């Protein structure tokens, strides 16, 4: 006498929905965190620039540099390093030490990123996996 057991696996984990949701989540989280960084650096510039022409701020953008990499940059504006304070013409060569806006933004994004990702996961992607 042979006993037979039949197992049927259903649900998001087995039909591919969970894997698709995880991929969509990582893509969206990366984009949301990069956009948050762009917003923060523009806010920093709004506080520190004394005579803004608007050009430098217009060059700050978020772009996808590789399939899994989003980058916020100033597009290589030649005086960008000077504004940040890492250029060859900053102190001690001149009195201008730079604003440090990118450094502060990087630190803040690193602090905020887990919360942004957690919120996105809970509100948008976990419901798809149920």
Q: Is 20 inside a domain boundary?
A: no
pLDDT in tens, 1-29: 678 888 888 877 788 888 888 899 999 99
Q: Is 13 inside a domain boundary?
A: no
Q: Is 7 inside a domain boundary?
A: no
- Helix (H) or strand (E) segment spanning residue 63: strand 61-66
| Tally of structural domains, the chain | 1
Q: Tell which residue, 105, 128, 125, 129, has the closest CA to residue 27.
A: 125
Q: What is the pTM of this model?
A: 0.85
pLDDT in tens, 69-116: 999 999 999 999 999 999 988 888 889 899 999 999 999 999 999 999
Contact yes or no for 98/82 (Cβ under 8 A): yes
Q: Tell which residue, 52, 62, 53, has the closest CA to residue 105.
A: 62
Q: Is 31 inside a domain boundary?
A: yes
Q: Is 129 inside a domain boundary?
A: no
Q: Is 18 inside a domain boundary?
A: no
Contact yes or no for 18/29 (Cβ under 8 A): no
Q: d(Cα 48, Cα 46) in Å, to the nearest integer?
A: 6
Domain housing 98: 25-124
Query: Tokens 């060859």 label which residue?
Result: 88
């Amino acid at each position: 006498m042979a006993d037979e057991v039949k197992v049927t696996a259903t649900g998001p984990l087995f039909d591919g929905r969970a894997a698709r949701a995880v991929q969509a989540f990582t893509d969206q989280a990366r984009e949301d965190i990069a956009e948050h960084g762009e917003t923060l650096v523009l806010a920093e510039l709004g506080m520190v620039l004394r005579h803004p022409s608007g050009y430098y701020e217009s060059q700050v953008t978020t772009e996808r540099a590789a399939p899994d990499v989003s980058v916020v940059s100033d597009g290589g504006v030649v005086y960008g390093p000077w504004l940040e304070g890492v250029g060859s013409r900053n102190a001690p060569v001149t009195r201008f030490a730079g604003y440090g806006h990118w450094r502060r933004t990087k630190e803040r994004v690193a602090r905020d990123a887990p919360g942004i990702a957690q919120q996105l996961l809970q509100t948008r992607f976990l419901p798809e996996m149920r």
